Structure 1
Amino acid sequence: MIDVDGVTCRYGGTGAGERDGGGVVAVDDVSLSVPDGEFLVVAGANGSGKTTLVRTFNGLVEPDSGSVSVNGTPVGDDLVAARTAVGMVFQEPRDQFVAATVGADVAFGPENLGLSHAEIDRRVGAALDAVNMGGRGDDRIASLSGGERERVAIAGALAMEPDHLVLDEPFTGLDEPARRSVVDGLRERHRAGTGVVVVTHDLRDVLGLADRVVGLSDGRIAVDAPPDAAVADLPGLDVRVPEGALTDRGGDHVPASDP
C-alpha cells in the first residue's frame, strides 16, 4: 500500500504556479492511497505534476510538506524498503541504465540488496522472461531498439520484485508492435499480482487495463474514479482517450481530445 497524505512539492524560482510558501508548486496538497494489486493510471497534461507525484512514492522526490508511506513505513525512514517495494521506470530508459549489457543492468538492483548469486541469477532470468527478453542477457544495451530498451528498463524494476511497478510515459517514441509488447507485459504483471501505476497523457493503450484513473491538473487531483466514470472529464485536462470511449449517459459520442 502506498499512502500519500497532504503532499505538496515546490521547485525554486518564481512565476506561474507560485503560491503561498514560495517557489513553483508542482504538487499541491495531494492525498491518495494506492492499494496493493491495483492498476492505476495517473493522467494529466505536461506540467500537471504527475511525474513529481509518483516520484514521491519511493523518495526520488522529497515533499516540502505532507507525508508518503509505503507498507506503513514513512518513505524517508527506509529508502531501501521504499525503493524495493516501488519499482520506478523512467520516461527515458537510458536515464536509469547503469551497465553496458542487458544482464548486468538488470542484475544491478538485486546485487545492491546483497542477495546470493543464485538468487540474483534467478531474478534476472525471471525478469527478462517476463518482458520477452529471455536469453538476451549478453546483448549490449546500445544495440537495442527503443522498445527493447523499454522492456529492459521494466525488467530492471521487476528484478527487485516490487509490490508496485511505476512507469512514466512508457509508450513515448515506441512503434505499434513495441507498444503492444509493453502493454501485454503490463497486463501479465498485473495478473500476477503486481500493482501497476502508469503515468501518461494518452490513455489509448491503458484505459482498458485500469482499475482507477486519477487525473491531475495544476498539481491537484481533478479526477479520481473508475475508468468508465473518469473518461468524461479527462479531455478537459488535455488527456487523450481512445476513440469511442467518450459517450454521455444518453449514448451520444463525445469527440476524443487530441492535444
Structure 2
Amino acid sequence: MIETRGLTHRYGDADATAVRDVSLAIPDGEFLVLAGANGSGKSTLVRHFNGLLTPDEGDVEVDGTPVGDDLVAARTRVGMVFQEPRDCFVAATVARDVAFGPENLGLARTEIDRRVADALAAVGLADRGDERIDRLSGGEQERVAIAGALAMEPGHLVLDEPFAGLDEPARESVVAHLRALHREGTGVVLVTHDLRDVLDPADRLVVLADGEVAVDAPPTEAVERLDGLAVRRPD
C-alpha cells in the first residue's frame, strides 16, 4: 500500500505550490492511471512515493512505514521509471544495466542473475541481454528501463509519461507488457496526459488539476467527468 495524507509540496517561494493537500491510498496490485495536464503536479506527486521528494506538509507511507524512515525499503517496494530512460542508464549493455539495482542491494550473484533473467523475460527481452542499449529503439529502451525497475522486485511500478517520444507500435508494446505485469500481480501507477489505450487495464483513474485531485473514480465513471481537464481522452 502506498498512502499519502494531506501531501503538499512547494517549489521556491510559498506561492509556487505544485501539489496541494493530496490524500490517496493505492492498494497492492492496483493499476492506477494518474492523469492531468502538464504542470498539474503528477510528476511531483509520484516522486514522493519513494522519497525522491519530501513533502512540505502531510506524510507518505509505504506498507505502513513513513518513507523518510526507511528510504531503502521504499525504493525497493516502489520502482520508478522516468520519462527519459536514456538519461538514467548506467551501463552500456542491457543485462548489465538491469543488474545495477540488485547489485547495489548487495545480493549474491546467483540471485542477481535470476532477477535480471526474470525481468528481461517479463518485458520480452529475454535474449537481448548482451546488446548495447544505444542501438535499441525508443520502445525497447523503455522496456529496458522497466526491466531495471522490475529487477528490484517492487510491489508497485511507477511510470512517469513512459510514452513520450514513442511511435504507435512502441506504445502498444509497452502497454501490452504493463497489462501482463499487472495480471501477474505487480501494482502499476501510470502517469500520463494521454488516456488512449490505458483505461481498459486500469482499476482507477485519478486526475490532477492545479495540484489537487479533480477526479478519483473507476475509469468508466471518470471519463464522464473530464470536461475542462486538459487530458487526451481515449479514442
Q: What TM-score bracket applies, with the shorter chain setting the length?
A: over 0.9
Q: Distance in 2 between matches of 1:226 and 1:115?
A: 39
Query: Which stretches in structure 2 are left out of the alignment for 5+ residues?
Result: none
Aligned to 2:71: 79
Q: Distance in 2 between matches of 1:23 and 1:158?
A: 37
TM-score by length of 1: 0.89
SS in 1 for 2:120: helix
> How far off is 1:48 after superposition?
0.1
Pick one of 86, 98, 102 that aligns with 1:110: 102
Aligned to 2:57: 65
Aligned to 1:46: 38
Q: Percent identity?
A: 73
Instruction: Map 1:104-143 onto structure 2 (within 5 A).
Output: 104-143=96-135
Q: Distance in 1 between matches of 2:86 and 2:197?
A: 22
Quick check: which has more Rg, 1 or 2? 1
> How far off is 1:205 after superposition?
2.0
Instruction: Map 1:71-220 onto structure 2 (within 5 A).
Output: 71-220=63-212
> How far off is 1:234 after superposition?
2.0
> How far off is 1:158 after superposition?
0.4
> How far off is 1:235 after superposition?
3.9
Alignment RMSD (CA, Å)? 0.9
Q: Which amino acid aligns with 1:70?
A: V
Q: Which amino acid aligns with 1:105?
A: D
Residue 41 of structure 2 corresponds to residue 6 of structure 1: no
Q: C-alpha deviations, 1:93-136, integer Å up to 9, x for none?
A: 11221111111110000011111100000000110111111121
SS in 2 for 1:6: strand
Q: C-alpha deviations, 1:8-67, integer Å up to 9, x for none?
A: 000014xxxxxxxx1410000100000000000000000000010011000011111110
Q: Distance in 1 between matches of 2:233 and 2:161?
A: 14
Question: Which fold has the larger relative contact order, with Cα–Cα distance below 8 Å and residues 6 or more apart in sequence?
Answer: 2
Q: Which amino acid aligns with 1:155?
A: A
Q: Distance in 2 between matches of 1:61 and 1:235?
A: 31
Q: Distance in 1 between matches of 2:145 and 2:175?
A: 14
Pick one of 241, 253, 256 that aligns with 2:233: 241
Q: Which amino acid aligns with 2:81?
A: V
Aligned to 1:250: none
TM-score by length of 2: 0.98
Q: C-alpha deviations, 1:65-99, integer Å up to 9, x for none?
A: 11000001100000010000000000111122111
Q: Distance in 2 between matches of 1:160 and 1:193?
A: 15
Change in Cα spacing, 1:50 to 1:127, as seen in structure 2 (3 Å) is: same
Query: Which stretches in structure 1 are left out of the alignment for 5+ residues?
Result: 14-21, 244-259
Aligned residues: 235
SS in 2 for 1:188: helix
